[in-house]
Structure 1
């Protein structure tokens, strides 16, 4: 577990039910971390709780800040921070020196407006910076997920423009494969229909055939077999079984063909992610929109 302890934890009101927690960045050395730093564990509680009843928030990031949400408005909170790795968590930091009162951003705005005061530039800048950090983190995470989802980008470092280009190429390639699979599926359905008709005809003749009546050239009339046979009934039954087996194989091939036609295209907004189920790709500036493509297709067909 890490030997280093996060220093100088601080809290900053974000809105009526959230605050930012910051601390001094720790030095990532092998001696300090004893392995790879996975993230931080944030412990917080309010004045109506005992420290033993504190809530723990797991921050899976090595950055030196995070946003805690779901808090009660107009309440004082205490905060402690711990670093952790695969072996466990390290020691707790000092408790935040000041108790932060969580108040509504709108309430503060109305109070200042009524008193003919304005927000300070520092408050505006802090609020804007917090939102901008969250937006950039989301964009970065979306591009990372996109690079992992596209086969031609796995294990490679690429610019955002290259990621979007290869994603578009991948989607177009998959659409061509889907169209080809649909054509193959239609051909298979046609072959199955023909075989079903031949099987029905063969079954009808087999059922109506007298058991001791000699039949010659029956396969010539069915046009399914033209070789010699010592028993017309036995040969016809065998041909029916063969046709049924061939028809079943075609049905299995059709099912496999259809299972390869699953493509889901997700268009994620960097500020408010949404999903599109119609498979259409929207072209937008990558600074505001991130295109994420998940391909549910066997790797051998890419």
Structure 2
């Protein structure tokens, strides 16, 4: 007669659960019983008009910067895998430059570009100009933010896409080329769809990181979510309640992106 299976006792789990429960209760007690947090102000400013405008600008910056980064990063990844050494060198130099300098510096560089280049002109060298415009007219604070965030993101996306393309068996490309497909069609129809399983998860993480990186645009005067909160507490001196408002909206957006990431991973991973 077989002996009954006795589960192994794990008292450490119960101790850890008890400690976490106590810490959670202390956190809730602190939030509820601390008048300085001004939860009434948090609720009052959560849907305030300038906060909503800042929230929309944050979402817009995130979407446009990720779109620019994904498109340019894909091109850079293909260049790095090219048989042409010049293309490989240019792509590698781009990644080296934009990953090696702080994104805050890059934002400020594009914002102050007009100080060293008053005008942008197109034409024949040492000849007539066909187009000329002041840099400060062409590169507004919004444009500077997209350039700074998007060009920086392209360097990271290039490495992500390159890793995804490298995960596809080389025989897939050879088979497609044997069928007479052109290189561009091979990438679009064969390689990139298969590489998506490797590309999608880190790209979703990059999107979540980009959402929070948009808060850096406060240095160039764009009224994003965090800047809008700062402008309000600069008037009423309620720093903590307004920072809580901004944090709650960042948490909401991050949660939505995390849910979307999970669904994309299940789809591209072949899971239901």
Fold equivalence (TM over 0.5):
no
Higher helix share: 2
More strand by share: 1
- Greater relative CO (CA pairs within 8 A, separation 6+): 2
Instruction: State which structure, 1 or 2, has the greater radius of gyration over its C-alpha atoms.
Output: 1
